[in-house]
Structure 1
Amino acid sequence: MNLHRPRWRFLCLLSAFVAALAALAASLGSSASVAACAAPGGWLQASGTGSERVPGNEVLARAAAAEIVLLGEQHDEEDHHRWQAQVLAGLHGLRPNLVIGFEMFPRRVQPALDRWIAGELSVAALLAQTAWEENWNFPIDLYLPLFEFARINRIPMLALNVDARLTRAIGDKGWDAIPEREREGVGRAAPASEAYRDFLFTIYREHAHGDGARSSSGFQYFVEAQQNWDRAMAEALAVRRVAGSSRQPPLIVGVMGSGHLRYGFGVAHQLRDLGVERVVTLLPLSPDADCREIRPGLADALFALPKKPSTPAPPPRLGVQLADADAGQGGVRVLAVTAGSLAERSGLAAGDRLLEVAGRPTATAGAVIAVVRAAPPGTWLPLRVKRGEASFEAVIRFPPAP
């Protein structure tokens, strides 16, 4: 682990971070909500004068006639996943020959997805064989309805992602420094537009920890890591489209973070470079989205979600990015610490290793996350931490319930 450049490992571990893209974009400009832009519970399209409602059957018919449909999400938003399930059901009714690709899975776990669709795996076995907790730091309950929908309808599931180690390595050293044999077959990405670079620089600058120059190699590597991620997913979708085109081509649907889709910058841009022209992008709009973000080109159509009833406070979060330690090291690595988080206030820093949590040795990042989520409000969680050659005790003090 390169302790001198942990920020790149954080910035490039975008599977746990892409949600910040949508959150940051929503914070730009005014604080007006979707309710002021369009009545919730329906589809709209952006126009030069704002937005206009469009019938849902028209949206789905156009999507079903495409080659590839891209569905966005903010990973931790339950209603985004409920909306995805609704769209998938509608598309399946119009075009039953369907394939669903998921950003959440690295392509090396494809055999497990095939076994799941064949009905050979329990949920527990699916999680174990796809190393869910290690690969995707979001609760399985958010995604399981989508996976069950695919299983009961025997719809093939496609693993779109690459291993996080490859993304981190590109973020550390740049794409050209990665040997071809280690690129998982992903080709060189089409160059990013200046608009996409502007968007990514906004994110990069927030997390660069003092190295936020647009001309820096660090920003270039960050862009290359994001582009490689976009390219990998685009290639996986395009390959499956070609593989199924001999008789009745399937409709390919990609489920991924909205940051990969907004304004056609990411995956859609790479698909066009691969010769796929009929791509439809659909995005959910959260109730607190910014009206000024609803501009032409944001997506082919957007669905305005209503506000949810009040719910209990979400499980506590440390505000860290974690990864399992390298073989023989022990503990769990801290890749990055969010400014102002519980972890930072407790003295944790990027490069630390968590040796014990609540008096028990740590085994995996997933196990640490589970302990944190189970911690009641107002309690303390002791940690044993190693930093360099020294170790020390730290205590996470969870705030009381509101």
Structure 2
Amino acid sequence: MKRCILFITGFLFVAGIAAAQTQEAEPGLFTADGQPVSWDRLLEAAGAVEVVFLGEQHDDTVAHRRQLRVLEALQERYGQQRPLVLSLEMFERDVQLVLDEYRQGLIPETQFLNAARPWPNYKRDYRPLVEFARAHGWVILAANAPRRYVNRVRRLGREALEALSPQARGYLPPLPYPEPSDLYRRRFVALMRGVSHGSMQVDVEHLLQAQALWDATMAYSLAEHLMRQPEALIVHVTGAFHVEGRMGTPEMLQRYRPGTRMLVVVLRPAADPLRFDPAQHMGLGDFIWLTPAPKSSARP
């Protein structure tokens, strides 16, 4: 309940969304407390902030199409007013140069893909976002921590990063990176308890610290860019767990850049995408955008 109140308060501050709806509601799009809301209200709210988080389930193809729709609408509405930036969990900070070279047309796509370690579903789900941003002159950020360092934390704990070279540390936020909040910790531990690992011995604390490294690195990437370009509007695409309840990456961003204006949009599969279920959806984001759930839908 406390989280929901915080969400509703932040939501009203950012965009005044709880005002009477005078436009037709977008199917499946709701406010934090479940009120149907129009597409135009979403765009108005996005224009009032510095970072728009789009939290997804990675295999939700409908969500990816909707993300592209968001980019297209922001380009049309704000492209002449503000620098627009696409930030992606799906690329790691050590391939930023490669991403920049491709964005600038210095290397062909085949070389970009060979060097950038794209996710297996890149062509279907993320390429349309990158190509749209590239075609319209957006900056594109490789926001995430290199997975080899995340794996090191998962195996050995956060202190193991101290052994890295200065060059390697340059791909990470300043060490030691912030601890996850107590609420995020409880949420993560509860999730891990619900996951079966068979006979594997899992160090939940190391897993949590690895998760926190992802959150901290993405948040630091956003904060760094806003320091360089404070007038920018950044759209950050990431897994929903990293942003639900404004925990995870948004919390870390507030630590690195207090006062950053942000909007959290959670795209969540649902058996009935036109029905807001308070037990499942309340307070997940400033907006919750429900998508049709495939029969084999899994948690992000």
Q: Same fold (TM over 0.5)?
A: yes
**Is 1:193 aligned with 2:175?**
no
Which residue in 1 is equivalent to 2:134? 151
Tell me which amino acid in the other structure corresponds to 1:186. Answer: P
**Aligned CA-pair RMSD:** 2.5
**Could you tell me the TM-score, scaled by structure 1's length?**
0.60
Tell me if the contact between 2:93 and 2:142 (Cα under 8 Å) persists in the aligned partners: yes
CA distance in 1, matches of 2:28, 2:205: 39
Bigger Rg over Cα? 1
Structure with the largest fraction of helix: 2
Which residue in 1 is equivalent to 2:247? 265
| More displaced 10-residue stretch of structure 1: 88-97 or 119-128 | 119-128
Quick one: which of 262, 266, 288 aligns to 1:283? 266
CA distance in 1, matches of 2:122, 2:88: 15
| Superposition map of 1:2-401 within 5 A | 41-47=27-33, 51-96=34-79, 97-132=83-118, 136-179=119-162, 181=165, 182-183=168-169, 184-187=171-174, 188-205=176-193, 206-209=195-198, 218-245=203-230, 249-274=231-256, 275-288=258-271, 291=277, 292-296=279-283, 298-306=284-292
CA distance in 1, matches of 2:26, 2:197: 36
CA distance in 1, matches of 2:142, 2:153: 20
CA distance in 1, matches of 2:160, 2:197: 21
Deviation at 1:185, TM superposition (A): 3.5
CA distance in 2, matches of 1:222, 1:207: 14
Deviation at 1:40, TM superposition (A): 7.5
CA distance in 1, matches of 2:105, 2:260: 34
The higher-RCO structure (CA 8 Å, 6+ apart) is 2
Tell me which amino acid in the other structure corresponds to 1:168. Answer: N
Q: Residues 197 and 185 from structure 1, CA distance in 2 versus in 1: closer, same or farther, beyond 3 angstroms?
A: closer
Q: Residues 252 and 40 from structure 1, CA distance in 2 versus in 1: closer, same or farther, beyond 3 angstroms?
A: closer
> Could you tell me the percent identity over the aligned residues?
28
Q: Residues 307 and 186 from structure 1, CA distance in 2 versus in 1: closer, same or farther, beyond 3 angstroms?
A: closer
Tell me which amino acid in the other structure corresponds to 1:104. Answer: M
Tell me if the contact between 1:40 and 1:305 (Cα under 8 Å) persists in the aligned partners: no
CA distance in 2, matches of 1:162, 1:79: 27
Name structure 1 gaps, 5 residues minimum.
1-38, 314-402
Name structure 2 gaps, 5 residues minimum.
1-24
